[in-house]
Amino acid sequence: MLPPTVLSNDDLAAMVDTSDEWISTRTGIKRRHIANGVTALELASGAAERALEQAAADPESVGLVVCATILPDKIVPSLAAEVRHALGIQNAVAFDINSACTGFVAALITAAGVMEAVGVERALVVGCEILSRITDWTDRKTCVLFADGAGAVLLSREGGPGFLAQSLMGTSENMYALSCFANWPEGRYAEAPPSPLITMGGDNVYRFAVTEMCAQMELCASRAGIALGEIDHIVPHQANERILRSVAHKCGLPIERFALNIAEAGNTSAASIPIALDELNRAGALKRGDTVMLVGAGGGLSAGAVLLRW
């Protein structure tokens, strides 16, 4: 689910020293959507409602709501709890996960584990970001990348095999290469804090993303006993088209195997995988029995993958 306001490369060129050609050749992005007056709750609950409609599922059948986000509307209650309330669900476990661009993968794996541990039959997993709130619109290295949106899936213990394998990793090396500092210096809230904005060491993030996205895909496929080249669809975090082309090359895969929507949606962090997956599904590209690899890497630094049977 993408908010209605569209910010084109030409719009950005009127704001900072950049151009459509500069942005397109370096990122693959042509347009991005900005939540102008739209809340994270509106995006997240809208995406969750669409997932329930797609599955023809009753909201009251949901026993768990997990939201992957780095910036909910409130600290407490969680965005997941607000989504639960907005959907009219009276009783369900609800919590948020902050793992930046790996967030949706981490949320899927966590939700599956919680479902098994406490006997939940159905779970909503939502990725939602409003990165425009923390984007430095004077920094052309970052403001051309980030965007807003939400996507969701419904997990069920009924039916087919579902998850075939999963993997997660994290490292403290270069952990601040992609960061956004909060307003609690020295453990206390600042009376007049500066607005926290995203900063990025592009070279370190690029190398990490290419290396670890490929590594996590290979590990996940190996755990499932499936050759990477046999996987039907790869739905990656939409970090940057150059990164994704490098991942495809490093893994020896055609870029056509990767679902790409970055040109129109930009980098929406934890929301990018479910948004791209939803587009693939609604286009009729996914057939029952297809193997689908979801893979992400980003802030933390962290990376992970899930291989599932559609």
Q: How many CB atoms lie within 10 A of CB 136?
A: 18
Cβ-Cβ contacts under 8 Å for 249 (sequence gap 6 or more): none
**Rounded CA gap, 35 and 43, in Å?**
9
Residue 229, token pair as written in the block: 């080249």
Q: Do 23 and 54 meet the contact criterion of CB atoms below 8 Å apart?
A: no
Q: Which distant-in-sequence residues (6+ apart) come within 8 Å of 251 by Cβ?
A: 214, 217, 218, 228
Q: Which residues are catalytic?
A: 101, 237, 267
Separation of alpha carbons 115 and 89, rounded Å: 17
Q: How far is CA 152 from CA 82, 104, 110, 116, 307, in A?
A: 15, 9, 15, 20, 17
